[in-house]
Each structure stands twice: as C-alpha cells, then as structure tokens.
Homo-oligomer: A and B are copies of this chain.
C-alpha cells in the first residue's frame, strides 16, 4: 500500500473516525484505524462493536492495499506533521512508513483481516434532514436520556417520523425533553430508539462541512449518512414511553419569564443547593409563585439563598420543590428569549415551552420537600 495525501484532508477524516475507537478494550485491533484503498480513494474505518464510522477521502494511491494502525499514535503523528503532502507506505516488514519533509515514522501495524466487519444494513426507512436542525434537536434532548442501565430503551433518544414531522424525545423518569421539526419532503412514518452514546458522537462528528444528513434504519441498526462519512449503530430494543400522552395540557399556574434571567438565578442557587448534595436530587430548591413574582429558596448548612424575579404570572399561587439541575439543563439549550412555565400542583409535572416556537417541550417532575 502506498498513498500520497494532503495532511489537512487526512486529519479531518481521522478526527471523525477516532470517535469510534474503543477506549477500554481487551482487543487491540479495536484501538486501530482500518485503512483501505479503493482506486483513488482511501477509506478509514473504526468500530468499537457499538458504533462504526467510515470516512472516505480522495487521494493519490500509488499501490493498493490495507492495514490497521493504532489510532492514537497515527492521529497524533499526522496532527503534528507540517501542513503539506504526506506519503504513507506499508513496507515489506509490515511497518507503516509515514514520510513528510524531514520526518520519517514507522509504526507497527495489525492484520486488516482481523478487523471486525461493520454490520450490513438493509435500510427499510429513512429521512433526510439539515445537519443544523438535527444537531440542535439532539442537543436539546440528549441530556435527558436515562443513565440507568436497567431499562435500556431509555438510555437512547426516540426518533419518530410522524405526519411529516420528526420528533426526538428523551426521558429519564424525572424529566422529559421533546424537540420536533417539520420535514421538507413527504416521508414514511417510522420510529427507532438510538443510543445516547451514539448521538453524542454523531453530534461531535457533524460539522458545517456536511449540509444534509440521511438517517436510515433497519430492524436493529441505524445509519447516519453524510457525503463521505457514515456512522452505523445498533438500535435499542423495547417499547418507548408514549410521551405525548404524559405531557399535561392544562395548567394551574403559568409564568412568562426571561430564559436567561431564570437560568442565572438557578445557576447561583445551585452553588448552595449542590454544596451539600451527595445525590443532587436529594437537595431540592423551593419555587414559590406569588402574583407577579417567582421566588426560589434554598437553605442548608452552607447557607441560605433567595432569588426573586418580578414577572408575568397567571392562575394560582404555588409552592413546589425542584432539582435546579433539571431546570438548568433545559434553560441552557433553549434558544428563545422568553419562555412559559406551566405548573400543575406541587406534586404534578411542570412544562417549559418557548413563547414563540412550538418546536420544544420540556416536562419536569417536582420533588417532595422535606418540611
């Protein structure tokens, strides 16, 4: 194998595929990047048996071939080489020779035949979206996926195509995040639950250089296809929550508030509430709604905190306990300047919605206060 390739192009491909490299594994081959040539293309592949990533770049291929090289070492060397053409050759001793100006590196390689094959996917349903929209929908929901492995289906996000709308939903038993968007083209209805871990990687790999992303699903697998890069992942089994039916449609108390002001209040008060928290959820803050005012209170051995904002209120007065982190997670990702928060009683869920957009709904359960 002999390749001549621009460093910048190669580095971009490496930066994408390294996110699929296994970090803790007893199989050294999974710590590698599979390099394969095909005419005047190079394909880089990584696969940690959960997420597989392929990236194809054009390059001068003087001799066809394939090999596997340690991902960390290969990527660090390419990263530190000068920004010019790099020659990469598999020599007769199975060492990968990387040559660039006065630098010559020879790295040990592994047998490409031992690299596990990525699962083949027979795509049954698919949807194409703008990368910016997909990225935003993931960002607005992923923090709410469950960390509890005992109900695996909730460690992922539901992707639901329904009536030419895409809904992305995550729920962890304490809160539910639902982002939605209309699709440009007519599309078949389908749904699939994609692991949170995969979506995290997808979000890191998606960059402005990919405009459109096609998501295809088979029975057990999903495929994210961008121009010259694709990501495959398994799907999560099991019945997802009927999210639409659990979100309250009515409210007893409604406030209209500047998102950033409220975020800053919760950030400050978290300093006190989290200071003694072994488990965050055990140290709630008290939220009080009076006519024209919200007050947030927290008292523990560190100190005593009170935050007040004057605002527009409707309906009843209210007092309820909440984990400030659950508020903050949502307040940080909403782009809109103003939001509604609809409260029920002190033991029923509250709902956050942007004033102007219907593309995001966040439901949060209160915590019973100790007193």
Q: Is the CB of B307 within 8 A of A103?
A: yes
Q: Does A116 contact B (CB under 8 A)?
A: no
Interface string of A290-316 (1 = CB under 8 A from B): 000000000001111111111000000
Q: Does A5 contact B (CB under 8 A)?
A: no
Chain B residues in 8 Å Cβ range of A102: 265, 307-310
Distance between Cα atoms of A108 and B300 in the complex (Å): 10
Q: In A60-79, which residues have CB < 8 Å from any B CB?
A: 70, 73, 76-77
- Chain B residue with minimal CB distance to A307? B103
Q: Is the CB of B275 within 8 A of A105?
A: no
Q: Does A82 contact B (CB under 8 A)?
A: yes
A70, A95, A303 — most chain B CB neighbours (10 Å): A303
Q: Is the CB of A265 within 8 A of B304?
A: no
Q: Does A268 contact B (CB under 8 A)?
A: yes
Chain B residues in 8 Å Cβ range of A95: 303-304
Distance between Cα atoms of A103 and B268 in the complex (Å): 9
Distance between Cα atoms of A306 and B267 in the complex (Å): 52
Q: Does A106 contact B (CB under 8 A)?
A: yes
Q: Does A81 contact B (CB under 8 A)?
A: yes
Q: Does A104 contact B (CB under 8 A)?
A: yes
Q: Does A287 contact B (CB under 8 A)?
A: no
How many chain A residues sit at the interface, stated as a range, is 20 to 34
Distance between Cα atoms of A268 and B306 in the complex (Å): 54
Q: In A269-289, which residues have CB < 8 Å from any B CB?
A: 271-272, 275
Q: Is the CB of A107 within 8 A of B303?
A: yes
Chain B residues in 8 Å Cβ range of A272: 73, 105
Q: Does A359 contact B (CB under 8 A)?
A: no
Distance between Cα atoms of A265 and B81 in the complex (Å): 9
Minimum CB–CB distance from A103 to chain B (whole Å) comes to 5
Minimum CB–CB distance from A90 to chain B (whole Å) comes to 13
A70, A272, A309 — most chain B CB neighbours (10 Å): A272
Q: Does A264 contact B (CB under 8 A)?
A: yes
Q: In A99-115, which residues have CB < 8 Å from any B CB?
A: 102-108
Distance between Cα atoms of A80 and B263 in the complex (Å): 11
Chain B residues in 8 Å Cβ range of A81: 268
Chain B residues in 8 Å Cβ range of A308: 102-103
Distance between Cα atoms of A268 and B103 in the complex (Å): 9
Q: Is the CB of A80 within 8 A of B303?
A: no
- Chain B residue with minimal CB distance to A304? B106
Q: Is the CB of A108 within 8 A of B307?
A: no
Q: Is the CB of A76 within 8 A of B271?
A: yes
Distance between Cα atoms of A275 and B76 in the complex (Å): 11
Minimum CB–CB distance from A80 to chain B (whole Å) comes to 5
**Residue from B80, B271, B309, B310 within 8 A of A77 (CB atoms):** B271
Q: Is the CB of A271 within 8 A of B73?
A: yes
Chain B residues in 8 Å Cβ range of A275: 73
**Residue from B80, B264, B303, B309 within 8 A of A268 (CB atoms):** B80
Chain B residues in 8 Å Cβ range of A304: 95, 105-106
Chain B residues in 8 Å Cβ range of A73: 271-272, 275, 302-303
Q: Which 6 A-B pairs have the closest CB atoms?
A: A102-B308, A106-B304, A107-B303, A104-B306, A80-B268, A105-B305
- 17 A–B contacts from the bound complex (CB under 8 Å): A70-B302, A73-B271, A73-B275, A73-B303, A77-B268, A77-B271, A80-B271, A81-B268, A102-B309, A102-B310, A103-B268, A103-B308, A104-B305, A104-B307, A105-B272, A105-B306, A106-B303
What residues make up the interface of A, taking CB atoms closer than 8 Å to B? Answer: 70, 73, 76-77, 80-82, 95, 102-108, 264-265, 267-268, 271-272, 275, 301-310
